[in-house]
């Protein structure tokens, strides 16, 4: 097996162009498990750990540009204010050891429907982009809604690598909720991300582990956006009412298409998604109302 160890981003892209079947490795928390279980016997490994840009983040023009290999532990410690939903999701990943190694680029590269970053990225809005690049065609931005194309499949080409993810700085409360068989070191039975975006009057949702790909609950988003706008709730911060919260939960549940598997049944996943949707909406709206009242 070839072991490729580029020192720069350009060298990494050149290596990926020359060896398109080379398997990129960042934290290795997915790659090494799969190699140990013989899921992969790649002809070459492309180690991305010497590339500085992948471990950096910056905020420009209200957008966090998050390097693909910034580990979850740093997202929690350094980015919980601008990216509260993603930081909450990061808290639930694996254990301290996994959070010190694994990052969002690896979650996106694997594109597992159970990856915890995905619901938070979807909920962060339609202006989330994955920046990928190849030696032949340069850089392109893939909208998060176009990124997930099948079970463990994303829309990247064979010669492309993920450089960073562009995520707008939160302008309202965000939440993440995950059901597992215990509180740590579990793959989600299902998960839900939710965000309020008061600046443009939208809300964001993300469903994990309850469909072939991570997906948003579009009808639930449209329903809630309509209610918030028609009733002037963004301005008043008044109570949403039990019926609105209930209906939102039902629409999130209807957006899922889960399966029965070793981690849980489809029915249980649907039920728990409705519960998580109601809870995360209630938590975020309570926080938003408090902000409105304290600003008045
Ligand atoms: C014990 C344990 C517990 C875990 N718990 C969770 C959990 O709770 N939630 C969760 O979501 N995940 C969990 N995982 C899975 C894993 O930690 C995450 O998916 C993590 O985000 C992977 O990041 P990584 O940097 O380690 O990726 P790697 O293993 O290095 O790579 C993962 C995939 O992404 C590709 N890749 C990596 N970087 C790039 C890049 N820059 N460009 C293109 N492709 C790239 C690789 O080729 C590979 O296909 C767990 C894993 C273990 C071993």
Residue range of the domain that includes 246: 174-295
Q: Inform me whether the pLDDT recorded for 296 exceeds 90.
A: no
In a domain, 1, yes or no: no
Among 168, 197, 217, residue at a domain's last position: 168
Q: 208 CB under 6 A from ligand 1?
A: no
Which residue CA neighbors atom 31 of ligand 1 most closely? 106
Q: 264 CB under 6 A from ligand 1?
A: no
Same domain, 159 and 179: no
Identify which of 247, 222, 249, 233 has the alpha carbon closest to the alpha carbon of residue 286: 233
Q: What's the CA-to-centroid distance between 115 and ligand 1, angstroms? A: 8
How does residue 176 score in pLDDT terms, banded at 50, 70 and 90? very high
Q: What's the CA-to-centroid distance between 69 and ligand 1, angstroms? A: 10
Q: 70 CB under 6 A from ligand 1?
A: no
Same domain, 270 and 185: yes
Same domain, 180 and 283: yes
In a domain, 28, yes or no: no
In a domain, 279, yes or no: yes
Which single residue is written with the structure tokens 């750990």? 49
Q: 113 CB under 6 A from ligand 1?
A: no
Same domain, 266 and 185: yes
pLDDT (mean) for 189-201: 97
Q: Say what the pLDDT of residue 246 is.
A: 98
Specify the CATH number for the domain of residue 115: 3.30.465.10
pLDDT (mean) for 180-207: 94
Among 168, 195, 225, residue at a domain's last position: 168
Give pLDDT tens digits for 92-118.
999 999 999 999 999 999 999 999 999
Same domain, 291 and 178: yes
In a domain, 102, yes or no: yes
**Residue whose CB lies within 8 A of the most ligand 1 atoms, among 110, 114, 130, 158, for a mutation test:** 110
Q: Inform me whether the pLDDT recorded for 41 exceeds 90.
A: no
Among 151, 168, 185, residue at a domain's last position: 168
Q: What's the CA-to-centroid distance between 54 and ligand 1, angstroms? A: 14
Same domain, 83 and 99: yes
Q: pTM of the full predicted structure?
A: 0.98
Specify the CATH number for the domain of residue 233: 3.30.390.50
Three-state secondary-structure class, residue 59: strand
**Contacts from 114-118 at CB under 8 Å and sequence distance 24+?**
114/187, 114/188, 114/191, 114/208, 114/209, 115/208, 115/214, 116/89, 116/90, 116/92, 116/176, 116/178, 116/188, 116/191, 116/208, 117/86, 117/89, 117/90, 118/148, 118/206, 118/208, 118/214
Give pLDDT tens digits for 112-144.
999 999 999 999 999 999 999 999 999 999 999
Same domain, 146 and 94: yes
pLDDT (mean) for 240-247: 98
Same domain, 122 and 63: yes
Atom number of ligand 1 nearest to Cα 32: 29
Q: What is the distance, to the nearest Å, from the Cα of residue 165 to the centroid of all Cα atoms in its chain?
A: 10
In a domain, 189, yes or no: yes
Q: Say what the pLDDT of residue 186 is.
A: 86
Q: 160 CB under 6 A from ligand 1?
A: no
How does residue 161 score in pLDDT terms, banded at 50, 70 and 90? very high
Atom number of ligand 1 nearest to Cα 31: 29
How does residue 185 score in pLDDT terms, banded at 50, 70 and 90? confident
Which residue CA neighbors atom 50 of ligand 1 most closely? 94
Q: Inform me whether the pLDDT recorded for 182 exceeds 90.
A: no
In a domain, 142, yes or no: yes
Q: 42 CB under 6 A from ligand 1?
A: no
Out of 146-150, 178-182, 199-203, which region has the weakest mean confidence (pLDDT)? 178-182
Q: Inform me whether the pLDDT recorded for 81 exceeds 90.
A: yes
Q: What's the CA-to-centroid distance between 192 and ligand 1, angstroms? A: 19
Q: What's the start-to-end Cα distance of the chain, in Å?
A: 64
Q: Say what the pLDDT of residue 39 is.
A: 85
Q: What's the CA-to-centroid distance between 32 and ligand 1, angstroms? A: 9
Tell me how many domains the chain contains: 2
């Amino acid at each position: 097996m070839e072991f490729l160890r580029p020192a720069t981003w350009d060298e990494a892209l050149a290596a990926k162009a020359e060896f398109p079947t080379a398997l990129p490795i960042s934290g290795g928390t997915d790659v090494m498990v799969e190699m140990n279980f013989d899921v992969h016997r790649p002809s070459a490994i492309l180690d991305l750990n010497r590339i500085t840009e992948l471990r950096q983040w910056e905020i420009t023009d209200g957008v966090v540009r998050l390097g693909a290999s910034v580990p979850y532990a740093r997202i929690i410690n350094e980015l919980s204010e601008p990216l509260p939903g993603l930081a909450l999701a990061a808290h639930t990943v694996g254990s301290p050891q996994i959070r010190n190694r694994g990052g969002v680029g690896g979650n996106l590269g694997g594109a597992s429907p159970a990856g915890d970053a995905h619901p938070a990225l979807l909920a962060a809005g339609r202006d989330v982009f994955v920046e990928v690049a190849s030696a032949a065609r340069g850089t392109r931005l893939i909208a998060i809604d176009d990124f997930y194309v099948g079970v463990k499949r994303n829309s990247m080409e064979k010669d492309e690598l993920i450089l960073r993810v562009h995520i707008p700085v939160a302008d309202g409360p965000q939440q993440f909720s995950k059901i597992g068989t215990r509180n740590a070191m579990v793959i989600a039975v299902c998960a839900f991300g939710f965000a309020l975006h008061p600046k443009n009057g939208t809300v964001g949702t993300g469903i994990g582990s309850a469909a072939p790909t991570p997906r948003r609950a579009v009808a639930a988003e449209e329903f809630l956006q309509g209610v918030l706008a028609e009733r002037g709730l963004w301005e008043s911060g008044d109570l949403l009412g039990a019926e609105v919260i209930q209906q939102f939960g039902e629409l999130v549940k209807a957006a899922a298409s889960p399966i029965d598997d070793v981690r849980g049944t489809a029915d249980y996943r649907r039920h728990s998604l409705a519960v998580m949707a109601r809870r995360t909406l209630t938590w975020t709206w309570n926080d938003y109302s408090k902000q409105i009242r304290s600003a008045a």
